[in-house]
């Protein structure tokens, strides 16, 4: 019962109004894999360059993540730098260097294929996401894909065909509205479902997330944080935690309440991600701290 996470592995340079740090572990697959590893065994598929610090690989190893799907290239690692304004909802991307990511083709290792029950296609080019599905064949019981505005804009056809091959699509509210050309996020969720996936999760950052299914719906607030230190990777941590929790159930199929439980767990992991640079708070997360926050979160959402 394992999650396979494919997507980007990055070196981030993040500036906030309070601090700045370079060579941070970043990328959609990194956050999602480390979050998923809190709940279940994980394999990762991605590419890194010669400049990728060994400490980041050590972190993956410490989390018992199967690294056999990582390609070690002689080029430079994908790099992203961004700056957060005083309002953490305002982020400016300063530079993006695709580097080794540009020509990367994901290669799932044999040791990863057999174990996979949840296939998490973290944000990446839709053609790479198709490729991972092709390589896994009929193996995994449940396939999740994340996407972003860039692919909606430049790779719409490949994204639409992907929607017919996955069980669950996850994306931000602005992206859902963009893709469905509507200002109503509820309408966007239902219409996205009609394009293929049985489930759609729309992420709304500080406003939580919504799950759309046939005749069912779930809305989950975010965990309330008095202070957000660095929200980079929160969405990736959310879906990684979601996938890891599902895998940990050891089932061959999931019902709606499994998914809502998984959303609550993903929400808690995302809240920790927001409290440090990179995956630092996730790295240090203890069951005590997680359970305490989950218990509080239950009371935050309960009414009679």
Interface contacts to a second copy, rule CB under 8 A = 86-89, 183-187, 190, 204, 206-208, 210, 216-222, 224-228, 257, 260-261, 263-264, 298-304
Distance CA 190, CA 193 (A): 5
How far apart are CB 168 and a second copy at their closest, in Å?
Answer: 16
Q: Which is nearer to a second copy, 163 or 228 (CB)?
A: 228
Q: Which is nearer to a second copy, 114 or 304 (CB)?
A: 304
Q: Which is nearer to a second copy, 165 or 251 (CB)?
A: 251
How far apart are CB 15 and a second copy at their closest, in Å?
Answer: 16
> Closest Cα to residue 42, out of 78, 79, 6?
6
How far apart are CB 81 and a second copy at their closest, in Å?
Answer: 22
Helix (H, G, I), strand (E, B) or coil at 162: helix
C-alpha R_g of the chain = 18
Q: Which is nearer to a second copy, 43 or 189 (CB)?
A: 189
Q: Which is nearer to a second copy, 33 or 188 (CB)?
A: 188
Tokens 């430049």 — which residue? Answer: 154
Counting beta carbons within 10 angstroms of the beta carbon of residue 250, is it exposed (0 to 12), middle (13 to 18) or buried (19 or more)? exposed
How far apart are CB 172 and a second copy at their closest, in Å?
Answer: 14
Side-chain-side CA neighbours of 116 within 13 Å: the count stands at 30
CB 147 within 8 A of CB 159: yes
Distance CA 29, CA 240 (A): 8
How far apart are CB 23 and a second copy at their closest, in Å?
Answer: 28
How far apart are CB 91 and a second copy at their closest, in Å?
Answer: 12
Q: Which is nearer to a second copy, 111 or 182 (CB)?
A: 182
CB 212 within 8 A of CB 181: no
> Assign residue 146 a region: left if phi > 0, alpha if psi is -120 to 50, beta otherwise?
beta
143-165 CB burial, b ≥16 within 10 A, e <16: bbbbbbeebbeeeeeebeebbee
How far apart are CB 283 and a second copy at their closest, in Å?
Answer: 24
Q: Which is nearer to a second copy, 50 or 298 (CB)?
A: 298
């Amino acid at each position: 019962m394992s999650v396979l996470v494919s997507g980007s592995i990055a070196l981030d340079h993040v500036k906030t109004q309070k601090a700045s740090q370079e060579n941070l572990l970043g990328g959609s697959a990194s956050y999602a894999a480390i979050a998923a590893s809190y709940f279940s065994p994980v394999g990762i598929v991605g590419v890194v360059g010669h400049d990728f610090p060994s400490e980041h690989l050590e972190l993956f190893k410490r989390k018992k993540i199967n690294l056999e799907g990582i390609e070690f290239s002689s080029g430079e690692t994908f790099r992203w730098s961004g700056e957060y304004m005083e309002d953490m909802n305002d982020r400016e991307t300063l530079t993006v260097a695709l580097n080794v990511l540009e020509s990367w083709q994901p290669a799932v290792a044999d040791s990863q294929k057999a174990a996979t029950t949840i296939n998490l296609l973290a944000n990446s080019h839709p053609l790479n996401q198709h490729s991972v599905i092709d390589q896994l064949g009929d193996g995994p019981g449940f396939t999740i894909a994340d996407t972003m505005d860039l692919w909606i804009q430049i790779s719409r056809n490949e994204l639409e065909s992907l929607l017919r091959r996955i069980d669950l699509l996850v994306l931000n509210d602005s992206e859902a509205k963009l893709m469905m050309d509507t200002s109503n996020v509820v309408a966007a969720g239902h219409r996205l479902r009609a394009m293929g996936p049985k489930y759609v999760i729309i992420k709304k950052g500080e406003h939580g997330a919504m799950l759309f299914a046939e005749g069912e719906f779930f809305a989950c607030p975010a965990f309330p944080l008095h202070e957000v230190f660095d929200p980079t990777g929160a969405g990736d941590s959310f879906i990684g935690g979601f996938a890891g929790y599902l895998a940990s159930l050891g089932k061959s199929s999931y019902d709606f309440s499994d998914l809502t439980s998984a959303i609550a767990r993903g929400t808690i992991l995302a809240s920790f991600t927001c409290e440090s640079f990179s995956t630092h708070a996730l790295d240090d997360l203890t069951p005590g701290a997680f359970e305490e926050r989950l218990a509080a979160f239950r009371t935050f959402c309960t009414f009679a």
